[in-house]
Amino acid sequence: MSEANRPFRWDLVRPDQLGTLLDGVPAPDLPFLDQLTECAAKVLARSGGGEIHFVGRSLDSVYDLLSGALDGTSWLSRIHQLPLSAAFAHWNRFNDQEIRQLRTNLTDAGVSPAAMAGRTQPTVLADLVSSGSTFAVLYHWLRDWIDDERVAWNVIRRKLRFLGVTCEYKTSPNTWRWQQAHADWTVELPASAIQNVSLEPGAWSYLADRQHKLTPTFSRRRWADENVRAPRHDERTRKALAEAIALVEAGRRRHTRESLVRHLTAEPAMRERWLRSLVTELRSAPNRPL
């Protein structure tokens, strides 16, 4: 039986182990804080009240912002990181050992057929999306796994959601959407299972192309590599760490929580009891300085 493996990442909500790691690192500017806050609110509102798993590293900043904002609420335990890179991968071109390791890692992260079937809330896979290829690979991996485990697909299909954060373009009747290129599998899910959130182009490009990430990409050659469990202390990682911590701290601020609430209450899902309950918790959440 393979052992679960995942890249090391500091606990930024309770960062007791940082010590002097950030000494001499300049404070980051957070130029896209407003855009990330609006995006984070829409991710929450369009999650269907589910367990949100942020796939890979692209939405780390949204995860960090929400980690601060949701601290002190029951929702902090409902957001998760899912270390995984499926870029340029094809779902059926992996050997048996890689598939075993992948399934072990996903199980450890809370994404398995048994876990998805056993939850009352949806399992939501969120990622920054261009072509939607990562979602396609993930879907086929999960679908094969569900069949192998003989878990009822009709149960899981009603609880599985894909939430893509797309680059914001001017809308028109002919606007292309990533799910249109993946009709071979998206049609197997209810219409509500595919959700999108648009993000301003500058912020989207920053997260996708220019941001220094806190952890290494977790592609197939690293799924079983124990070296990823060791923290990195190079200059780029320290700068990424400073930005991540600043986002957690920003999420805790009253102004950010008020902005989240403002965007949440504008969403159609505000009719749902779970979202009204979340808004109530955010309004009463205490400030928790780092």
**What pLDDT is recorded for position 171?**
64
pLDDT at residue 136, as a whole number: 93
The pLDDT value recorded for residue 288 is 59
Q: At what angle do helices 254-265 and 33-45 cross, to 10 degrees?
A: 50
For 54-58, 85-89, 142-146, 235-239, which range has the lowest pLDDT when averaged over its residues? Answer: 85-89
For 12-21, the pLDDT digits (tens) are 998 777 888 8
Q: How far apart are CA 194 and CA 161, in angstroms?
A: 6
The predicted structure's pLDDT at residue 1:
60
Query: What is the model's pLDDT at position 285?
Result: 85
Q: What is the pLDDT of residue 106?
A: 97
Provide φ and ψ at 132, rounded to 5°: 85, 10
Sign of CA dihedral 124, 126, 131, 133: negative
Whether the pLDDT of residue 167 is over 80: the answer is yes
Q: Phi/psi at 94 (nearest 5 deg)? A: -125, 145
Q: Which pTM does this prediction carry?
A: 0.94
Structure tokens at 190: 């209810």
Question: Token match 């094969």: residue?
Answer: 144
Q: Residues 175-215: pLDDT tens digits?
A: 668 998 888 999 999 999 999 999 999 999 999 999 999 99
Residue 267 structure tokens: 């969403």
